[in-house]
Chains A and B, each alone.
Chain A
């Protein structure tokens, strides 16, 4: 019996890939934490500890409270000063950048998605025939897809940094452009997947009665794919707001700009307040986008 158990165990189906991946990941993680590559516990020593204590007990306390003791009215008037002065305006700008960027990304992906979808960008769209494809179409798809992969693999922050050099400072285009390109590529891929997963029947019928490719796109593909696509769209909106906050640190006027400024001046109390404000608008965007998704699904 035990022999049989052993032989059954040895011949059990298993995946080398999965086991190898787990082993590599596990070993690497252990190595990272034990080899000193990450300075664990470093902050508990000497200077760093003083730094941490000073930050928590002094620097992060709102400035007027530091000398004069805790008083709610004084704290509020300080916070109102920061918010009225630039905080709220910057929060508005952050939302504006995110909204404009996500709409532009949507428009961009509107063009990219069909070009990357295997059932549209082909010599005989929506038909069952697969083989015998002309090279032009395949090349087009490969180029569009590769472009999208590059665009979504470069972090928004780096994109914005490079666009800033090209477009110059003093306006929001670098941030808007970086977010639009990055998210356009992501939405383009998701849109292409949505289109490829569409029920082929109705589209084939449309094609069968002589509709042109463009007519099938306008009359069949887009209306059918729109529902799922919008779900992705609103999901990305939330991330857009998160990123828009941060892109300001490069010099575009969003919340990040003032966070960076406060940081440079070592006004850590103000920095904390603005980061909190950023968290608040991200939560608001999260709420908005989940409401929009639910509205789409059920009409509530």
Chain B
């Protein structure tokens, strides 16, 4: 390409082209390194049988236990589904509320706008606060590192860790959700605060408002709509995570789903799946209604 020969920056089209080519190459490499056979992507003899059972289950989810597998003192299937759903919701809500506290605290501390002054402040004053500023930078950077660490470990891995440390208690499930979700919320919150339009901040500063006042009146309410919409979206994700935590023995929906699947009771599996889908769908509907109210453009 002549433009590149001249040392010009690649155009946006050729940049995309390069990325796409790179991606396809990487995918090819990944394929080869995993040693995948295309045929394995389709179910074999036994797999087809299971798939058939699975698809039949989708059409007729179970309303009572299949072939009387449950112990005599087990509650009705639908009661169990309801209870598992309730537990899922409880873990998600507890984890999310803790994550919200972490997210708000670290989100503020991780936001540039919490630390820096109006850029058009007089230079004289800017110089006077140099040592204070160094401490601020230190806190800011360490909070950001902490956020990255919290986020980079998956909630299931946190759960595994906490299971080893604390054992099977509902509190460990709640923390397992709260840590990575808190980190993610903190990251997104701080970005939202930093990307907020600055006009009201400038005008409040110009009428003598102090740092906290400017933050609380000029920045926070501005970002609050987007922040709450995002938090609600994360709550939906937390419900899914909480459901999966059941795979590790917590009494959420994943626990029973796994049991039923291992017993090849796919009609029960679908009952749990449909229940989870209904819950997530309901939350999604609620959040989209709320978003329209809260985030006005």
Residues of A within 8 A of B (CB): 15, 17-18, 21, 25, 28-29, 32-33, 37-43, 47-48, 51-52, 55-56, 59, 92-93, 95-97, 99-100, 103-104, 106, 149-150, 153-155, 157-158, 161-162, 165-168, 171-173, 176-177, 223, 226-227, 230, 242-243, 245-246, 249, 256, 259-260, 263, 268, 271-272, 275, 278-280, 282-283, 286, 292, 295-296, 299
Contact A52 B165 (CB under 8 A): yes
Q: A153-B240, A162-B261 are in contact. List 8 more A-B contacts (CB 8 A).
A: A18-B290, A42-B171, A96-B31, A99-B23, A158-B257, A161-B247, A283-B152, A292-B19
Contact B34 A153 (CB under 8 A): no
Q: Which residues of A contact B164 (CB under 8 A)?
A: 55, 59, 263, 268, 271
Contact B94 A158 (CB under 8 A): no
Contact A171 B36 (CB under 8 A): yes
A260 and B91 CA atoms in complex are apart in Å by 23
Contact B171 A43 (CB under 8 A): yes
A191 and B180 CA atoms in complex are apart in Å by 27
B161 at the interface (CB under 8 A from A): yes
CB within 8 A of A38: which of B29, B171, B281?
B171
Closest to A16 in B: B293
Q: Which residues of B contact A149 (CB under 8 A)?
A: 281
A292 and B30 CA atoms in complex are apart in Å by 19
Contact B90 A165 (CB under 8 A): no
CB within 8 A of B47: which of A168, A172, A245?
A168
Q: Which residues of A contact B29 (CB under 8 A)?
A: 96, 99
A97 and B31 CA atoms in complex are apart in Å by 8
Contact B153 A275 (CB under 8 A): yes
Q: Which residues of A contact B15 (CB under 8 A)?
A: 295-296, 299
For the complex, count residues of B whose C-beta is within 8 A of A: 74
A2 and B204 CA atoms in complex are apart in Å by 29
Inter-chain contact total with CB atoms closer than 8 Å: 204
Contact B152 A286 (CB under 8 A): yes
A292 and B51 CA atoms in complex are apart in Å by 39
Contact A172 B34 (CB under 8 A): yes
A100 and B67 CA atoms in complex are apart in Å by 40
Contact B47 A18 (CB under 8 A): no
Contact A243 B47 (CB under 8 A): no
Decide yes or no: A55 and B243 within 8 Å by CB, A93-B33, A259-B157, A279-B152 being known contacts.
no
A25 and B152 CA atoms in complex are apart in Å by 28
A38 and B15 CA atoms in complex are apart in Å by 51
Q: Which residues of B contact A32 (CB under 8 A)?
A: 90, 93-94, 97
Q: Which residues of B contact A150 (CB under 8 A)?
A: 277
Question: B74-110 toward A: CB 8 Å interface, digit per residue (1/0)?
Answer: 0000000000000000110110010000000000000
